[in-house]
A and B are shown apart, each in its own frame.
Chain A
């Protein structure tokens, strides 16, 4: 029974036998999970990651290589395995209080740990994983971990998964995190608690980006400016663009799930509608962000987020008088004509 796997992903008879073997191991671990702690529940099948460890930076589907195809085959098999033996809806309680929403696109190397931490934020937490445009078996891993998986074959685009997840959420608190960074449950709890018992509607990450320099990143600039235009300079550079953040159900009803796809717009709505928006706890996500070399070259996030902020400012101006509520009564414009 105790055969070591080749680890080089060679297709053929031998690897098939490995899969069968793995299936058994997973089933065994599922039995174990009912009694043992969650940490021990991590299935052995995760060792299938090993042959592909060299592909950590792989982010987009365009750059498929022969190795990639092999892996897809393996992951499909894994899916079969997972569906047959997943721990039955452990992370989807019947009446959840906290819904953790994780948009995912090809995050198989992180997703398991992310889900594990997310499920620990509250005793009645549901984990919703919105898998989109993934071909690396992320969905299978998420299902196996017991998360409620919503799957889209095509990529939805940046942050659209938040809207999808929020529409499906049943909890009183919605916690948004990313699938590509592991944040411990201990660090996530302050956000949930601020909303559950602190009277906060939108609990933001107190992270403003690096500002101790003359020229900052444009996104940092935009976040500061949006808060200033919303007359909330005290929020500095915090924003719903950054994870983690938690919102109350009341906030979700006011700002509507669709706006969550454009986080600065959701942020502007939350502040403008008079919801309690506070920065509650600092997590330096700048340090945790993965370098996305390929994505930044093909589809830079920077310009997308600046556009999002402009969309938010446009919305703000529409709600008021073109001047964002900063009234200009003293100016005698008629004299200037």
Chain B
């Protein structure tokens, strides 16, 4: 070993000699573990943190404050590593299990997310509310869960009332597509706001990256649909319009990802920039976000083909027509701000000649 070092680099050997440190200490620092080897797994880390919490005299009951406490220790443990990789999400669920096991509490399947700002969820729903969707949200370290129930009967209402820590806005009549986003937003002061659809169950593991992305660096986190798009010939009109809008706004990298799709997360700063009322017409908010050069993160939601919307020709329902209209409104707004052809100017045409004049 030592011989080979000498062969490969004489300079390095000389430098190493200059450092007057005992060989033993050098070896220890190379291993890179600051704390004891007990913390090598997330599960053990959870147990360790729970033990410390218990010794501090914190009331040990499965409550929201315990969830927040656990999340704080997990955030502290993650330090600067705030990436929401698959491994980190797996680690966080192991951490949570170890934490609860140490406290002799039933596993709540809580999913801690490394975050420093307050977070809330606004759930848009109507008659088709799925309680499981709300329960997945309850696994996340959210300060508030606000459910906007539009044109829904008593049944979904009584169902959610049973869940603790959920604010319900119950409207007898429909507000119209996406107006609920702006309404729900008015009830919270959280820094990060996650918007979801109450009728679609998305596991907390898939929602955690949205929170983490907005908490760390992004202004907006959009659902990444690019994996499930398939061939262009099979796309529906709305997907095509979304892709065209992104292309013409200079964000072809977003493909067909759009603020019109749920789930998505916004930072308070981003909402203030685009204006809360514009969230009622999501493509307009999307346009405004791109125009203001906000940072947009794309979060993977589901595998290709799983729960994919059936693509096909334009079905001409009221909602689809509304969404197409929203996108034209977004394009019109952009044209009003930036001019007729956005950034695609026509410098080559002699339009006077085209109109019959002499060039």
Contacts and interface: CB of A to CB of B under 8 A. Distances in A.
Interface stretch (B12-20, B194-202, B351-359): B351-359
B346 interface: yes
B244 A317 contact: no
Contacts of B72: none
B348 A212 contact: no
Nearest to B185: A336
A258 B252 CA distance: 31
A160 B280 contact: no
B345 A330 contact: no
B328 A316 contact: yes
A257 B356 CA distance: 8
Contact of A215 (B232, B341, B347): B232
Interface string B151-185: 00000000000000000000000111111001100
A74 interface: no
B233 interface: yes
A137 to B, nearest CB: 21
Given A164-B353, A311-B341, A332 B232 contact: no
Contact of A299 (B178, B281, B325, B348): B348
Interface stretch (B101-109, B203-211, B314-322): B314-322
A287 interface: no
Contact of A160 (B321, B327, B354): B354
Nearest to B231: A212
B350 interface: yes
B241 A225 contact: yes
Q: Taking chain A's interface residues, is the majority helix, strand, or loop, or is none over half, making it mixed?
A: helix
A233 B314 contact: yes
B344 A303 contact: yes
Given A225-B240, A316-B328, A333-B280, A156 B313 contact: no
B183 A335 contact: yes
Interface in B295-338: 313-314, 318, 321-322, 324-329, 331-332, 335
Contacts of A213: 231-232
Interface residues of B, number: 58
A336 B340 contact: no
A313 B333 CA distance: 12
B303 to A, nearest CB: 16
A321 to B, nearest CB: 9
Contact of A337 (B244, B247, B277, B346): B277
Given A324-B328, A332-B176, A310 B348 contact: no
A289 to B, nearest CB: 18
B229 interface: yes
Given A214-B232, A221-B240, A221-B244, A154 B359 contact: yes
Interface of B: 174-179, 182-183, 229-233, 237, 240-241, 243-244, 247-248, 252, 255, 276-277, 279-281, 313-314, 318, 321-322, 324-329, 331-332, 335, 340-351, 353-356, 359
Given A228-B237, A233-B313, A326-B328, 8 more contacts: A160-B353, A163-B355, A167-B356, A225-B240, A233-B314, A323-B326, A335-B175, A335-B179
30 contacts: A156-B359, A157-B346, A159-B349, A164-B356, A167-B356, A211-B231, A212-B233, A214-B232, A215-B255, A220-B232, A228-B324, A233-B313, A258-B351, A258-B354, A261-B349, A261-B354, A306-B247, A307-B344, A310-B335, A310-B341, A310-B344, A313-B335, A314-B340, A323-B325, A323-B328, A326-B324, A328-B325, A330-B322, A331-B179, A331-B280
The 6 closest A-B pairs by CB, nearest first: A326-B325, A307-B344, A331-B176, A157-B349, A336-B182, A307-B341
